[in-house]
């Protein structure tokens, strides 16, 4: 039996649409064992079938190596909520591919994993940090495999994660983002992406706040999250440096370098928004892990 653990991820980090992402200290754990037939436990019933993204990714990887599908017992224990902007789909894709390799005796490097997982997921900004840990800026040169730049994130930073009870599906959230931007908007974003990554590395919350002012997706997606304005106001007046939409939402993520502020804010958010789950997270530095049991 094998166990694979994959961290949740916050894609975009506000300013870096489809480009930046960061692994955080919230995890999905998957076990896999060869079996007579496919069984899937531990996840909602709607996912307990052959269309399960973990199994689809496993079969896809087997096909790439010319291997036939086989029976497998999959158990999923996850703290990563579905369709909330914390990369639940990426945890499934990464685990499925790693399991395919482990159960058939293949070896895959982290770089190969990023390439395979990006093909299934469609964009690298969740899968790359889920595999590599830390914050990652990724891009895919024409006709080549994705290139990933990994940035260490200051251990002083705390990411206050507010998870509303409603889902926002990535496919729907992508429809509201305009397909074209003005040159001035492209210029606006570019410098801030460099500022945000430097701020995360050095733990400079003033720089992170200055850089976190997205004009590509957040102005359009905030309308999909009814609590956006009220939660943002609570976070900023309570001392957070800044806040962004995590991935395609509905989760919101506030940043502070003060553990006491993080705790005070968590309590205030729980009082004002009892319908939301809250976590104080740090950056995960290790990425996906595998154990043979």
Ligand X SMILES: N[C@@H](CCO)C(=O)O
Ligand Y SMILES: Nc1ncnc2c1ncn2[C@@H]1O[C@H](COP(=O)(O)OP(=O)(O)OP(=O)(O)O)[C@@H](O)[C@H]1O
Known binding positions for ATP? 81-91
Contact between 198 and ligand X (CB under 6 A)?
A: no
β partners of residue 33: 73
The CA distance from 280 to 240, in Å, is 12
Q: Which range of residues in 83-91, 107-115, 180-188, 279-287 is near ligand Y by CB under 6 A?
A: 83-91
The residues in 142-201 that bind ligand Y, with binding defined as CB under 6 A, are 169-170
Tokens at residue 140, please?
């895919």
Complex with ligand X: residue 9 or 278, whichever CB lies closer: 9
Closest approach of Cβ 130 to ligand X, in Å?
11
Cβ atoms 136, 128 nearer than 8 A: yes
The residues in 9-28 that bind ligand X, with binding defined as CB under 6 A, are 11-12, 17-18
Closest approach of Cβ 143 to ligand Y, in Å?
26
Q: Among all residues, whose Cβ is closest to ligand Y?
A: 247
The residues in 47-66 that bind ligand Y, with binding defined as CB under 6 A, are 47, 52-54
Name the region of 248 (left: φ>0; alpha: ψ -120 to 50; beta: rest).
Answer: alpha
Q: How many CA atoms lie within 13 A of 207 on its CB side?
A: 15
Between strands 72-78 and 39-41, the pairing is parallel
Contact between 78 and ligand Y (CB under 6 A)?
A: yes
The CA distance from 27 to 130, in Å, is 10
β partners of residue 147: 139
Residue found by looking up tokens 């999250």 in the block: 225
Contact between 197 and ligand X (CB under 6 A)?
A: no
Contact between 16 and ligand Y (CB under 6 A)?
A: no
Contact between 204 and ligand X (CB under 6 A)?
A: no
Complex with ligand Y: residue 133 or 247, whichever CB lies closer: 247
With vertex at residue 117, the alpha carbon angle to CA 55 and CA 97, rounded to the nearest 5 degrees, is 40
Tokens at residue 51, please?
């269309």
Contact between 170 and ligand X (CB under 6 A)?
A: yes
Complex with ligand X: residue 218 or 284, whichever CB lies closer: 218
Q: Which range of residues in 44-52, 120-128, 149-157, 179-187 is near ligand X by CB under 6 A?
A: 120-128
Tokens at residue 160, please?
């206050």
Identify the burial level of 110 via C-beta atoms within 10 angstroms of its C-beta, where 0-12 means exposed, 13-18 middle and 19 or more buried: middle
Contact between 125 and ligand X (CB under 6 A)?
A: yes
12 binds, among ligand Y, ligand X, none (CB under 5 to 8 A by kind): ligand X
The CA distance from 117 to 214, in Å, is 27
| Interacting residues toward ligand Y by CB under 6 A | 11, 43, 47, 52-54, 76, 78, 82-90, 92, 126, 169-170, 247-248
| Interacting residues toward ligand X by CB under 6 A | 11-12, 17-18, 123, 125-126, 170, 173-174, 247-248
């Amino acid at each position: 039996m094998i166990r694979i653990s994959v961290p949740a991820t916050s894609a975009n980090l506000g300013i870096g649409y489809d480009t930046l992402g960061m692994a955080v200290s919230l995890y999905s754990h998957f076990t896999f064992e060869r079996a007579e037939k496919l069984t899937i436990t531990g996840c909602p019933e709607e996912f307990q079938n052959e269309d399960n993204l973990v199994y689809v990714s496993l079969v896809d990887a087997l096909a790439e190596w010319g291997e036939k599908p086989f029976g497998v017992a999959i158990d999923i224990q996850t703290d990563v909520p579905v369709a909330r902007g914390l990369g639940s789909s990426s945890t499934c894709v990464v685990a499925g591919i790693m399991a395919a390799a482990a159960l058939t005796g293949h070896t895959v490097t982290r770089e190969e994993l990023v390439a395979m997982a990006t093909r299934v997921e469609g964009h690298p900004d969740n899968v790359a940090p889920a595999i590599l840990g830390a914050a990652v800026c990724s891009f895919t040169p024409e006709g080549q495999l994705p290139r990933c730049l990994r940035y260490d994130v200051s251990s002083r930073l705390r990411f206050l994660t507010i998870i509303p009870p409603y889902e926002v599906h990535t496919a729907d959230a992508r429809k509201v983002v305009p397909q074209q931007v003005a040159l001035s908007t492209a210029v606006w974003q570019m410098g801030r992406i460099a500022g945000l990554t430097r701020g995360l590395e050095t733990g400079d919350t003033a720089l992170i706040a200055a850089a976190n002012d997205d004009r590509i997706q957040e102005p359009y997606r905030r309308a999909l999250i009814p609590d956006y304005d009220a939660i943002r106001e609570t976070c900023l007046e309570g001392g957070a440096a800044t806040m962004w939409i995590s991935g395609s939402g509905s989760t919101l993520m506030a940043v502070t370098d003060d553990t006491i502020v993080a705790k005070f804010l968590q309590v205030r958010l729980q009082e004002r928004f009892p319908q939301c789950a809250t976590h104080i997270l740090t950056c995960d530095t290790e990425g996906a892990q595998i154990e043979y049991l």
